[in-house]
Amino acid sequence: MTYSSEAVLGGENLAKLEALGNPHVVEIVEKYVKLCKPAKVSVITDDPEEIAYVRQLALDNGEEMRLRMEGHTVHYDGYYDQARDKEHTAVLLPPGHRLSRGINTVDREAGLKEVHDLLDGAMKGKEMLVRFFCLGPTGSRFSISALQLTDSAYVAHSEDLLYRSGYEQFKKLGGSDEFFAFVHSAGELDERNCTKNVDKRRIYIDVIDRKVYSVNNQYAGNSLGLKKLALRLAIYKANHEDWLAEHMLIMGVHPPGRDRVTYFTGAYPSACGKTSTAMIPGQTIVGDDIAYIRMDDEGNARAVNIESGIFGIIKDVNPVDDPLIYKALTTPRELIFSNVLVADGVPYWQGMGRDDIPKRGINHSGEWWEGKRDAEGNLIPFAHSNARYTMRISELENADPKVNDPDGVVVRGIFYGGRDSDTNVPICEALSWEHGVYIGATIESETTSATLGREGVRKSNPMAIMDFMVVPLGRYLSNHIKFGRRLRNRPKVFATNYFLKHEGRYTNEIVDKKIWVLWAEGRIHGDYDAIKTPIGYLPRYEDLRRLFKQVFDRDYSEEDYNLQFSLRLDKLLEKIARMEEIYRDEPDMPKEFWEILNQQKASLSALRAETGRSVLPPSFFL
């Protein structure tokens, strides 16, 4: 019997599509129904009943399981599908185009053929969900419409938590093709409803046609088109226009005893403190992952969170270090856990602060027991270190009142940080906007379980966005410099480092990030003086001592201050040497980058020669 895409699509679904008045949408849906050959198609509008159908479908087909807590479910990705797959994620590159180091590319025509071959019949026996979302608040000049086709109800349910419904928004396009489109199939599934053919996992980004293709995977970082895959499309769009698409949190900082809120964005590689910074107690969250930033009529940088939810790493979320997130995870609400241990309907994750972790249960490997090993002989932990949670920001106690403001928030400060055990100080203010871009460009981070591969390797990750870069890096950095110069009110830029160690132990506590953030906020308003050094402005001891006492009622010793804020000249110069090596062959780098690098190198080398020391305390620069 010949497969009939028209019969499967059906009159009711087609009517919903035609009501959009957009032939481009109809064409895309019809093309991929015919190619993927689903047994059923459901076009989902903004109707709450239709959205509830998707959530129930995820339960009915076994992609999610109910947990004991009301509204909580759990999803398991396959054992070998637990993180972003960099190796098989690639930009489809037309002939004559080039990208920077470390960016995987595939010839566009060859890549399209490969992924379409993999998608051919990939949805046989399954249901295709056609979804419409809005990246950013609806009715905003920031926002971009997004079309998602998927055979995974878990993916679609996750996107309902993470993004704003966009069916009605599509009607406002006036038939334009100015939207992003995403085609995803989990592919053939095993008895646990997990992807079987992970060796054929492909995630291909076509920036020319504004589409992303993803097949043979379920982990959200590979399958949720609107998340990091849409970020890639937005980066390409922003860098050909006049705005920024960034891998950044957005938060409101509220200093104690003062009636004001100051908004920051911040870029951190995965598992380096981005979500926990956005969730610092006493502050408010607008977003924890992706920001679109544009200049307003007054010359301010304004930012919106394109998401309305959080897909956060759950490892080490505990009631002491992350009380707001922990409370949200342990109270009733619509929430999806992924790749945690479940025993008797209760989820358990690494670092949750409990001593009564069960010895048996279900996890990402299936039935689990203490001492279980995988096919390679490796011990399987009770929960994966990249286990996640997905929930709506609006349900958090610290959700900012402007989380859905179509005008966004005025950005007064920017944080850049990585996982750095031996070089950078905990907080440092850039000497200029250009220096701030340099700070972002030289982010390094020691790798974690958020990406496939070996942990603990130091890697360069400019602006914490290299994994998602789809334009030449030199162009991207130059656009940052130009964007800032157009602003009349430039944000101050700060480097942060929560992971500095001494003799194998962290030099600060996890909660101390609150002090560094509050100091930065005070600098924006002129509340604190600072010590000028070659690497930037450092806090004064007395200011930090008062903040520690005021916020934590804790004594902060000068010994700790000197340990944390001394300039490690050897380490800083080693980092500069690494940056020289990394960027030496990068074409079209902005001249400002090299001017700042050479100036820092000369200053730090002179200090080491003058003092004969490798470490200088902040008092040296007073």
DSSP track, 8-31: HHHHHHHHHHHTTT-HHHHHHHHH
Domain ranges, ordered by start, for the chain: 5-64+77-241, 245-310+400-621, 312-391
CA-CA distance, 136 to 209, in Å (whole number)? 21
Query: How confident is the model over 296-307, as pLDDT tens digits?
Result: 999 999 999 999
Q: Which residue has the tokens 């200093």?
A: 255
**Smallest Cα–Cα separation from 221: which of 387, 364, 83?**
83
- What are the φ/ψ torsions at residue 128 (nearest 5 degrees)? -85, 130
CATH number of 5-64+77-241: 3.40.449.10
**Smallest Cα–Cα separation from 169: which of 194, 187, 144, 200?**
144
CATH number of 312-391: 2.170.8.10
**How is residue 165 written in tokens?**
């419904």
Q: Write down the pLDDT at residue 9.
A: 87
Residues 6+ apart with CB under 8 A from 376: none
Q: Write down the pLDDT at residue 73.
A: 98
Element containing residue 593 per DSSP (H, E): helix 591-611
Strands, DSSP E only, in 349-420?
360-363, 366-369, 388-392, 409-417
**Smallest Cα–Cα separation from 127: which of 42, 15, 55?**
42
Classified as helix, coil or strand, 167 is helix
**How is residue 404 written in tokens?**
């859905």
**Which residue ranges in the chain fall short of pLDDT 50?**
1, 450-452
Give the CB-side neighbour count of residue 1, counting CA atoms within 13 A.
Answer: 5
Q: Write down the pLDDT at residue 601.
A: 98
Print burial letters for 423-462: b (CB count within 10 Å at least 16), e (below 16): bbbbbbbbbebbbbbbbbbbbbbbbbbbbbeeeeebbbbb
Beta bridge partners, 517, equal none
Q: Write down the pLDDT at residue 452.
A: 47
**At the topology level of CATH, where does 245-310+400-621 sit?**
Phosphoenolpyruvate Carboxykinase; domain 3 (3.90.228)
Relative to beta strand 335-338, strand 341-343 is unpaired
Q: Please calculate the CA angle 78-84-85 and round it to the nearest 5 degrees.
A: 85
272 is catalytic: yes
**How is residue 134 written in tokens?**
């809005």
Residue 35's alpha-carbon distances to 4, 151, 183, in angstroms, are: 11, 13, 11
Print burial letters for 510-527: b (CB count within 10 Å at least 16), e (below 16): ebbbbbbbbbbbbbbeee
Q: Write down the pLDDT at residue 450.
A: 47
Element containing residue 57 per DSSP (H, E): helix 48-60
Instruction: State the catalytic residue, choosing from 134, 194, 272, 428.
Output: 272
Question: What would you report as the CA-atom Rg of the chain, rounded to the nearest whole angstrom?
Answer: 24
Q: Is 216 left (phi over 0), alpha (psi -120 to 50) or beta?
A: left
Do the Cβ atoms of 266 and 251 come closer than 8 Å?
yes
**How is residue 86 written in tokens?**
């960099």
Q: Is residue 153 exposed (0-12), middle (13-18) or buried (19+ Cβ within 10 Å)?
A: buried
Relative to beta strand 492-496, strand 427-429 is antiparallel
Residue 244's alpha-carbon distances to 224, 240, 293, in angstroms, are: 21, 10, 5
Q: Write down the pLDDT at residue 69.
A: 98
Element containing residue 609 per DSSP (H, E): helix 591-611
Give the CB-side neighbour count of residue 253, counting CA atoms within 13 A.
Answer: 27
In order, the DSSP letters of 193-249 are: S-BS-GGG-EEEEETTTTEEEEES--SHHHH-IIIIIHHHHHHHHHTTTTSEEESEE
Q: How many CB atoms lie within 10 A of CB 141?
A: 15
- The model's pTM: 0.93
